[in-house]
Amino acid sequence: MFKNLFGKKQSASKTIELKAYASGNILSLEDVPDPVFSKKMMGDGIAIEPHEGKLVSPVDGEIMQVFPTKHAIGIKALNGAEILIHIGLETVSMNGEGFTSHVVEGEKVKAGDTLVTVDLEKVKEKAKSIITPIVITNSDEMANIDHSITTGKVSKNEEVILCVTSK
């Protein structure tokens, strides 16, 4: 009886669903005009061309990294998937201008929590693109990455865009 109360910890599901982290048009990673993403050098994933500048967490997890320039955030999901959201292309050179982070490293987040707000007009003006890829940086450690939606419009925290299963 006590074993059931104290001894067993419920393990996290091996499969997690990533919901849309922005509202906009979804693109396959191969269609991102940057070879680091389109050739999946950093891992498998998908991209969204956002219609608004509010980005939310796609999963429950922990913030592993907030880049000093606020243009990218790393999240570790409950199943061990390491997720990178890269806001826009060639945005590191903006040195954080137009980006406001709402989370810090080590913080626990739930799907739908606001991560970053960004001035998309400023990104359009100063960077290559507003296209925002999401990649599983430890794709090789995952058993499966299922692309639930590959085209069309998505709304933040509504549609499931990826299902990631750990080994």
- Active site (annotated) includes residue 147: no
pTM for this predicted structure: 0.92
Contact 83, 74 (CB under 8 A): yes
Which of 116, 107, 121 shows the shortest CA–CA distance to 85?
A: 116
By CB atoms closer than 10 A (0-12, 13-18, 19+), residue 35 is: exposed
Residues 6+ away with beta carbon under 8 Å from 108:
60, 61, 62, 63
What domains appear along the chain, each with residue ranges and CATH number?
25-166 (2.70.70.10)
The confidence score (pLDDT) of residue 161 equals: 96
CA atoms within 13 A on the CB side of 15: 6
pLDDT class for 11, splitting at 50, 70, 90? low
Q: Is the pLDDT of residue 23 over 70?
A: yes
Q: Which is the catalytic residue, given 51, 86, 102, 147?
A: 86
Instruction: Name the β-bridge partners of 5.
Output: none
CA torsion, ordered 102, 104, 108, 112, to nearest 10 deg: 20
Contact 131, 32 (CB under 8 A): yes
The confidence score (pLDDT) of residue 50 equals: 98
Give the tens place of pLDDT for each residue, 88-119.
999 999 999 999 999 999 999 999 999 999 99
Give the tens place of pLDDT for each residue, 48-67.
999 999 999 999 999 999 99
